Amino acid sequence: MKMKNLQFTILFVLSCFPALLWAQADTVQQKADAVWGIYPSFSYQWPGGDMADRFGQSSTIGPGFFHKTASNWIFNADLNFIFGNTINEDSLITNLINDDGFVTNDEGLIADITFFERGFYTTARVGKLIPLSKKNRNSGIVIMAGAGYMQHKIKIEVKQNLVASLDGDYKKGYDRFSDGFSTAQFIGYMHIGRTRLANFFVGLEFAQAWTKNRRSMNFDTMRRDDSQRLDLLTGIRVAWIIPLSRRQPDPFYFF
């Protein structure tokens, strides 16, 4: 009887051992990691407010740095360069246009002039990750908000620089260079997997900037523009995260 009891005890312990291992793995999985990482990101944006009066849809691209704590707080800083090809300023270079509706270059020919939207904004953010699954506490809904700086202008390109009125510093009288304080918010999904490849976030971003024209005068209107602007951007942002280091929870051992 004693031998049978011993065998029963051994079998019972052995049968429970896989369950204990599973519980150990599940316990580890349910704890979040502290992660440091960098990322390139891309967004496609729609303008609003005064931004829509000047520019059309645009894109951004740029680097970012983030730290996610083991309690899933996120600290983030990024730099986003703005690129666009649609300009809505009706009065731009109107003082250079002749009666035929063209701008002539220094050789008396029709000038080849193109306009682009250029700028950037940089933001320091804080946020929180809300896990959707107990099996991966490093992934889920992420909400971030922060503040920073934005600037933008109209980039003017003249083929062969043959228009003296749009050469060198003269361009500054037409470029509408503006800058100021900005804020930004993000809501989306972040995934941090067990490999260095399957890490990303995607979601909606909202940016607001309170800017002013910093040029002393707009040459086409022959006056200074001191008005306060409210520039709005709404876009879809996607980023690929490259983890730099990762501190995983300490494993739990059974003895």
Q: Is 244 left (phi over 0), alpha (psi -120 to 50) or beta?
A: alpha
Beta bridge partners of 128: 73, 143
Residue 168: which pLDDT band, with cuts at 50, 70 and 90? confident
Residue 201: which pLDDT band, with cuts at 50, 70 and 90? very high
E strand or H helix at 8, and its extent?
helix 2-29
Average pLDDT over residues 149-153: 98
pTM, two decimal places: 0.81
Tell me how far apart the alpha carbons of residues 169 and 160 are, in angstroms, rounded to a whole number: 16
The domain spans of the chain are: 1-29, 31-246
pLDDT digits (tens, 9 = 90+) for 5-50: 544 443 444 344 344 333 333 444 457 889 999 999 999 999 999 9
- Residue 89 DSSP SS3: coil
Mean pLDDT, all residues of the chain: 86
Given this structure, which CATH class describes domain 31-246?
Answer: mainly beta
DSSP3 helix / strand / coil % (the chain, rounded to 5):
20, 55, 25
Percentage of residues in the chain with pLDDT exceeding 90? 65
Q: What's the DSSP call for residue 91?
A: T
Give the count of beta carbons closer than 10 Å to the beta carbon of residue 124.
13
